[in-house]
């Protein structure tokens, strides 16, 4: 957790995992593919973001479609078989927190794009700052590119808004929110009739899922990050072995993906090194993590693994002892592992994410309830639960008070910052929204 109680962004540094595993299995793609036997699976918003530098002179929505289709042709070398997958944008989403961090407080009004839309004053870069606009844009491009592919005689499938259209077969509706997991389904399907599937995406989540699901992919599989960087997914799978590949999803979500947060002070490189050298009991834990019905099943194994990373070279297996040991060595809060209560909430969030990624091979995912797995709703948005542990002994908590003059809505309130309710010791007034019950509904005389 950050000092204000928010998650440390799990997406930061996660690409190192893909770079480390992929670099040893990087390939030089041929200048020309055999377009009859290769299928391309494209992350729709990855392509859109790649287009941004090429869209300075775009005037209308139709211009945007032309650039989009031309870019796809150049990427796929005019291949005849193409799958495109877009995210499904939902108002209440666990990814909203990650998207806000990426936007860095830059804001833009919602805009619905059509073929005739005047985009001369609303550039693509600005459209991508608003989630509602991105949803409209994804739907618009998906529908328009489907028309283009149909008229050009291409074999295609396009997934968006929890449905799939195309002429390569029939997909029932799905409930995937993220393109990441839906890309896995498309890749597995495409591998049934292609000798090579090339996935175009730069997302580490996609790479990890492809490696983990490699035994379900019946053809060669490449992941194309750019024209110069292509990873052979099957070679990575064989290089680290089927068992470690299968457990890679659990390692990734536990140590930090977009919605889970990450542990402070340890990089993906460090976690991967310890994982690749782990004993069989630990590997079994990671393989089975997304398959269990209880996120806390065998949590002791993970706790011991965590302690081995934070306290390398010791026999410490308890998080409290690990925190004390590191504190005596470094006197640095930044290097401490989580408390057990914070660890439990982190494991719950990771288990939720692992369930999503593990079910990439199915259209209708059995999605657990995030409100039972490390999140709560605040102002109708998901917020991470920091810990099961009390912030401090009751005698210390009673001494905490704020000096707010307003409604205590933000983390600037010293009480809200440490996740406790305001009390009569505080200076806030009847407008306080952080008291339990609210101050204006309490009988002050009785307290």
Maximum pairwise Cα distance, the chain = 82
Measured distance CA(80)–CA(67) in Å, rounded = 18
The tens digit of pLDDT for each residue in 61-85 reads 999 999 999 999 888 877 889 999 9
The reported pTM is 0.84
Spell out the SS3 assignment of 120-141: CCCCHHHHCCCHHHHHHHHHHH
Residue with the bigger pLDDT between 416 and 225: it is 225
Give Cβ neighbours of residue 66 (< 8 Å, ≥ 6 apart): none
Q: How far apart are CA 337 and CA 320, in angstroms?
A: 9
Average pLDDT for residues 389-417, to the nearest whole number? 77
Q: How far apart are CA 393 and CA 4, in angstroms?
A: 20
Distance CA 54, CA 236 (A): 33
Q: How far apart are CA 346 and CA 263, in angstroms?
A: 9
Note the pLDDT of residue 331: 84
Q: Which CATH architecture has domain 15-246?
A: 3-Layer(aba) Sandwich (3.40)
For residues 88-102, average pLDDT:
72
Mean pLDDT, to the nearest integer, of 321-335?
89
Please state whether beta strands 163-166 and 230-232 pair in parallel, antiparallel, or not at all (unpaired). Answer: unpaired
pLDDT of residue 396: 61
| Residue 217: its H or E element | none
pLDDT score, position 79:
81
Q: Could you report the per-residue pLDDT of 35-66, keeping only the tens digit for each?
A: 568 899 999 999 999 998 888 888 999 999 99
Domain boundaries, the chain: 15-246, 253-375, 390-447
Percent of the chain having pLDDT more than 90? 54
Torsion sign across C-alpha atoms 215, 300, 254, 86: positive
pLDDT at 102: 54
Q: Is the pLDDT at 324 greater than 80, yes or no?
A: yes
- The pLDDT mean for the chain works out to 87
Angle between the N-to-C axes of helices 268-276 and 248-255, in degrees from 0 to 180, rounded to the nearest 10: 150
């Amino acid at each position: 957790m950050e000092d204000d109680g928010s998650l440390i962004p799990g997406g930061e540094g996660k690409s190192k995992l893909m770079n480390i595993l992929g670099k040893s299995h990087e390939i030089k793609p041929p200048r020309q593919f055999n377009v009859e036997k290769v299928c391309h699976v494209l992350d729709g918003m990855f392509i859109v973001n790649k287009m941004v530098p090429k869209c300075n002179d775009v005037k209308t929505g139709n211009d945007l479609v032309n650039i989009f289709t031309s870019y796809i042709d150049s990427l796929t070398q005019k291949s005849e078989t193409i799958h495109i997958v877009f995210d499904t944008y939902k108002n209440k989403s666990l990814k909203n927190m990650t998207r806000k961090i990426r936007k860095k407080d830059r804001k833009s009004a919602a805009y619905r794009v059509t073929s005739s839309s005047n985009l001369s004053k609303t550039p693509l870069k600005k459209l991508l700052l608003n989630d509602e606009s991105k949803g409209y844009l994804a739907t618009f491009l998906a529908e328009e590119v489907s028309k283009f592919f149909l008229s050009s005689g291409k074999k295609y499938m396009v997934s968006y808004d929890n449905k799939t259209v195309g002429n390569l077969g029939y997909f029932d509706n799905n409930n995937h929110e993220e393109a990441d997991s839906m890309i896995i389904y498309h890749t597995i399907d495409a591998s049934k009739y292609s000798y090579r599937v090339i996935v175009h995406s730069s997302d580490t989540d996609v790479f990890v899922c492809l490696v983990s699901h490699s035994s379900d992919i019946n053809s060669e599989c490449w992941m194309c990050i750019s024209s110069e960087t292509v990873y052979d997914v099957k070679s990575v799978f064989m290089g680290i072995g089927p068992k470690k590949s299968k457990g890679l999803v659990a390692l990734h979500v536990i140590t930090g993906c977009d919605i889970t947060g990450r542990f402070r002070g340890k990089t993906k490189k460090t976690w991967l090194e310890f994982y690749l050298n782990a004993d069989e009991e630990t590997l079994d834990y990671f393989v089975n993590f997304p398959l269990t019905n209880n996120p806390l099943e065998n949590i002791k194994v993970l706790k011991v693994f965590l302690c081995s990373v934070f306290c390398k070279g010791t026999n410490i297996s308890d998080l409290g002892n690990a925190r004390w040991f590191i504190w005596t060595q470094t006197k640095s809060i930044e290097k401490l592992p989580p408390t057990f209560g914070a660890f439990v909430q982190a494991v719950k969030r990771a288990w939720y994410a692992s369930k999503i990624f593990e079910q990439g091979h199915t259209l209708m995912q059995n999605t657990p309830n995030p409100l039972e797995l490390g999140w709560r709703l605040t102002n109708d948005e998901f917020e991470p639960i920091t810990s099961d542990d009390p912030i401090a002994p009751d005698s210390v908590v009673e001494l905490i008070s704020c000096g707010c003059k307003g409604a205590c809505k933000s983390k600037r309130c010293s009480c809200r910052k440490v996740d406790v309710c305001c009390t009569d010791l505080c200076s806030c007034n009847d407008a306080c929204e952080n008291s339990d019950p609210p101050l204006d509904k309490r009988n002050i005389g009785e307290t």
